[in-house]
Amino acid sequence: MDYKSTTYTGKAMKIGAGVQASEAQEAANAQGFVVVEGVCPTVGIAGGYTQGGGTSLLGSKFGLAADQVLEWEVVTGKGELLTATPRQNSDLYWALAGGGGGTYSVVLSMTVKLHPNMPTAGATLSFTEPSDAYWDIVQAFLLNMPAVLDAGATLYWQVLPGNLFLMPQSYLPEGSAQDLERLLQPTLQVLDKSGIPYAFSSRDFPAFQDAYRILNPEMNITEFNLGGRLIPHSLVASDSSAASLTGAIKSIISNGGILAGISMNVSRPPTSPNAVHPGWREALFLAFLGSIYDRYNMTANIIAQQTVTNVFVPALEQITPGGAAYLNEADSNQPDWQRAFYGTNYPTLLSIKEKYDPDGIFWGPTAVGSEAWEVAADGRLCMVGN
């Protein structure tokens, strides 16, 4: 559709609740556009994904999913049907764009910006090395990252047990394979100098959706006991700080964990202010960390999640004091979740929650306002003090 407001004039798409990311992207692609979506094609794009912020393989080019929202159509906790935009019910618009899903209202639909489709370069990289030289390459990759992201690329990568590094996806919209390879040269040169064998490939795609289909095949459900942390640019500002970051990652892997990162530059402020955690604007990458989920042993999973909470996440918190976590992909047992998930936005979000859902109809363990309720011994949800 053509959309016009005081803050945006251009093409837009209205997306109903329950529409999957892949469905929205296919519809946009058919008209020569792209919509900002996540890594997983089956996520409901208008739900907690966008309401929680929304990472994207187009992040460095266009920002977070929450940054794309033009308006929301909702039913509040008081039963009111409302439209929320930067000019109408602007406080609710602000809260819904990054302040967490399932909290302020039921979202019926959202309208988001569309962007013209574009040629896109993609690349993959993998290597393994049993010696400590492996960690020198990981550190070189981390130091290389800011320049790559500043050029508009987004990277998805993994550091795995057994000193295995994988970057199965990287994207450079409006760039060529040659451009992307040039951006990654500092890492490739260190690999060449070390003599460590590696596999690198890059290619050009006529459109982003073509790159997305080839490099991002549909995957299974998340199979990890999960935690997370936003890693700021400041941790690669010098060799010494990058060494601290590399050491923290190494400690997680050495203790049986895994770490994956989605690296993107979303520092540009959105057209209209939103409730995305301020830590995103300073982030170099989102670190997902955890251990493999055991489908047959729940006790093992409980112990593994405790390790995530008490060992893996603190390893990154130690080098990012006062930092942030992405509420959609974080440890559900995060002790200081109000600060880690919402930051300085929390008091304002709480007042908006109380305005549009005064009876606490919407609740989640780490959703804004959830501390007013507690789960009783019999499983019922009760107001604190009652």
- On the CB side of 114, CA atoms within 13 Å amount to 23
Quick one: pLDDT at residue 216?
87
Q: What is the CATH number of domain 120-339?
A: 3.40.462.20
**362 burial level (CB within 10 Å; 0-12, 13-18, 19+):** buried
CATH 3.30.465.10, domain 2-116, yes or no: yes
Question: Residue 162: which region, alpha, beta or left (left: phi > 0; alpha: psi -120 to 50)?
Answer: left
Contact 343, 277 (CB under 8 A): yes
Query: Which pLDDT does position 345 carry in this prediction?
Result: 99
pTM above 0.85, yes or no: yes
Chunked into runs of 10 residues, the chain (386 residues) has average pLDDT values of 95 97 95 94 95 97 98 97 98 99 98 98 98 97 98 98 97 98 98 97 97 85 85 97 98 96 97 97 96 88 93 97 96 95 99 97 96 92 87
* pLDDT at residue 293 in the model: 84
* Rounded CA separation 181/188 (Å): 9
CA distances from 70 to 105, 132, 247, 304, 305 (A): 17, 49, 42, 41, 38
Among positive and negative, which fits the CA dihedral 296, 255, 343, 58? Answer: negative
Instruction: Give the pLDDT of residue 221.
Output: 65
Are the C-beta atoms of 99 and 328 separated by less than 8 Å?
A: no
- To which residue do tokens 């700021």 refer? 232
Strand order in the sheet with 105-113: 2-4, 9-16, 105-113, 69-76, 81-84
Would you list the domain boundaries of the chain?
2-116, 120-339, 344-383
